[in-house]
Amino acid sequence: MRRPHCASPGMGAVVSAALILAAAPVSAPRASAQAAAGKDSPALTVSVGPRGGEWKRVFNPFRDDSETRFPSTAGIYEPLLVYNRATGSYLPWLATGYEWAANDTRLRFSIRPRVLWSDGTPFSARDVVFTFDLMRRAPALDRQKLWSFLGDVTAIDTATVEFTFKRPYTPGLDYIGHQPIVAEHKWKGVAQPATYDDPDPVGTGPFTEVRRFEATVYELGRNPKYWQSGKPQVAVLRVPLHRSNEEIVKALATDELDWASLFLPDIEKNWVATDPARHQYWYPDFGPTVLLYLNTRQKPFNEPEVRKAISMALDRPRITKEALNGYALPADATGLAESQKRWKDTTPPGPDWTKRDLAEANRLLDAAGLARGSDGLRVVPGSGPMRYEINVVHGWTDWVAAAGIVQQNFAEIGIAGSVKALDYNRWLGALKEGRFDVSLGFGSRGPTPYQFYRGQMDGALVRPIGEEAVDDFHRFASAEAVDLLRRFEATSDVKEQADLARRLQRLYVADAPSLPLYASPLWGVFNSKRFSGFPSRFLPYAGAAPGGQPDSLPVLIEVKPR
């Protein structure tokens, strides 16, 4: 039986309007409609958060976000679908719809007509097939390992693409739907696509023209052939380099920034109150869970009781109050956000090791044979004192503050911790390669808990130390979780998925493979002095924060100069 879809049911009126807009056919010419916005309109200036080093002219959408410039994956190139985390629904984008067939082993997309690449070449189903075939031929491009479940991809005709799976894999919709599509006529001549910088991209997205590129700022002009008539109304997208949250705050306050991904303490007082009509923000808890990763390939972090003991020492209420200004709730042992509560088991098994209990934490560490030395530090037999660096991103003031509290909590149970602030690329590289003792990091988040638990317990994702992992950075594997994950992948029955999610949840609680601290908000801060139309809780048509996630793409389309 086929199951046709354009978007998930139950969407609100605002999202329905956005869906109709995205699905509407667009006809050329487009340039004259865009010109109505005015050649001299201001540049939309955006910060994706603090970064180190200098900007490098790289727009390759297959490379990691530490290497590729915003908005390569969702703004220069575009996906087939956009999953809106605020509404829990899919918006059709380069595809107008999709349908499952053959017991969820075939997924067919209807490709949007009358779309042009920015150089004027027609976009078609061939480009979609080429993109995925390129990932098959160059496995380094397939960072999410889509070809582990894909068997083939074919163009049924110029407007239809069919994916054949090796086995039923219903989460494949998210991974396939969000893959940025590249142009066959350009990329077929690229000899080394994994290392290609793509300095002059040819995309279908709203911003494709590189007008300026310097070490600390770059500007992209709008695509004159964009398929949404009269969009974008913004003429230029500017992205300056900021190395700390403080720099971003200053740029916002002096009207140099319009949209930022930013944690700002006491934002109502320090931002909104200074200009209530124009200073806005939206901090929904739709972001990934922030975790304390312990490298499970190292003793004693390979022992679940040790991990639980360390977790019991963490003062999560203090972390969320002092480091995050109360913008997030302390995590529970499921690792799921409050906005995911419909997936949570109402009767979680065992004690909640996210509740602070120093006496029990010390008892468990004593029982694990980690006795204190003469200096009060616990000692790992055969290894030495429990002395570890806690990796965080330099300039992320909330993380640095959270790690400082973790350091203090460690001392209360005989562990010496020191906060190590790394630039973004070094932090991410260490995490991926498993070259860390303790690190703050994110979990994955998708339409269901599958993505989170896969990233925490799936042995198929585990890589040797020194080899880059796409998830499961702490190198934890559970055979029972692997079985449940494969069963989840094979079913489209909502009730069965809910049952499997609860069972995965119980395994996570039993094993404590990582230590959830809080569900990260999407840190959306807006200065609407020059532009209007930013998303909010009253207008949740897109993600709140700029970045590589597909649901930041609609913001680039809808924001307009005042």
Residue 528 domain flag: no
> Beta partners for 526?
259, 280
Kindly state whether residues 184 and 294 are assigned to the same domain: no
Residue 245 falls inside a structural domain: no
As a whole number of angstroms, the distance between CA 238 and CA 220 comes to 7
Same domain? For 294 and 192 the reply is no
What pLDDT score does 431 carry?
97
CATH at residue 192: 3.90.76.10
- Does 486 lie in the same domain as 351? yes
Task: For residue 412, tell me if it sits in a domain.
Answer: yes
Closest CA relative to residue 47, chosen from 215, 278, 218, 180: 218
pLDDT of the residue at 66: 74
User: Domain check: are 514 and 400 in the same one?
Assistant: yes
391-402 burial: b if 16+ Cβ within 10 Å, else e: bbbbbbbbbbbb
Establish if 193 belongs to a structural domain.
yes
How far apart are alpha carbons 394 and 408 in whole angstroms?
A: 19
What pLDDT is recorded for position 423?
A: 92
The verdict on residue 513 lying in a domain is yes
276: preceding bond cis by omega (within 30 degrees) = no
Longest dimension (CA), the chain: 78
- Strands (DSSP E) found in 269-355: 279-282, 289-294
Whether residues 422 and 322 fall in one domain = yes
Q: Is residue 272 part of a domain?
A: no
Cα atoms found within 13 Å of the Cα of residue 71, Cβ hemisphere only: 35
Angle at 327 between CA 321 and CA 329, to 5 degrees: 70
Residue 280 lies inside a defined structural domain of this protein: no
Distance CA 212, CA 196 (A): 20
Task: Tell whether 470 and 338 lie within a shared domain.
Answer: yes
Per-residue pLDDT of the chain (562 residues; tens, 9 = 90+): 333 454 332 323 223 333 333 343 333 344 444 544 445 689 999 999 988 889 999 999 999 767 899 999 999 999 999 999 888 899 999 999 999 999 999 999 999 999 999 999 999 999 999 999 999 999 999 988 899 999 999 999 999 999 999 999 999 999 999 999 999 999 999 999 999 999 999 999 999 999 999 999 999 999 999 999 999 999 999 999 999 889 999 999 999 999 999 999 999 999 999 999 999 999 998 889 999 999 999 999 999 999 999 999 999 999 999 999 999 999 999 999 999 989 998 776 677 999 999 999 999 999 999 999 999 999 999 999 999 999 999 989 999 999 999 999 999 999 999 999 999 989 999 999 999 999 999 999 999 999 999 999 999 999 999 999 999 999 999 999 999 999 999 999 999 999 999 999 999 999 999 999 999 999 999 999 999 999 999 999 999 999 889 999 999 999 999 9
Same domain, 377 and 503: yes
Do 193 and 293 lie in one domain? The reply is no
Is 498 inside a domain boundary? yes
What pLDDT score does 18 carry? Answer: 34
Q: At what angle do helices 450-457 and 479-489 cross, to 10 degrees?
A: 150
Of the three residues 169, 198, 227, the one that is the final residue of a domain is: 198
Residue 534 pLDDT: 97
Count how many domains the chain has: 2
Please tell me whether residues 29 and 173 are part of one structural domain: yes
294: domain CATH number is 3.10.105.10
Place of tokens 């893959």: 179
**In this structure, are 179 and 319 located in the same domain?**
no
**pLDDT score for 6:** 45
Taking CA atoms, 426 is separated from 15, 118, 201, 374, 470, in Å, by 38, 34, 26, 35, 15
CB 108 within 8 A of CB 154: no
Last residue of some domain: 165, 198, 231? 198
Query: What is the residue range of 335's domain?
Result: 289-519
Look at residue 389 in the predicted model and tell me its pLDDT: 98
The reply to whether 193 and 294 lie within a common domain is no
DSSP secondary structure of 45-93: EEE-S---S-------TTS-TTTSPTTIIIIISB-SEEEETTTTEEEES
Is the same domain home to 302 and 165? no
> Which pLDDT belongs to residue 15?
30
Identify whether the C-beta of residue 69 lies closer than 8 Å to the C-beta of residue 218: yes
Helix axes 245-253 and 397-411, enclosed angle (nearest 10): 150
The domain boundary, picked from 519, 534, 554, lies at 519
What is the per-residue pLDDT for 10?
A: 30
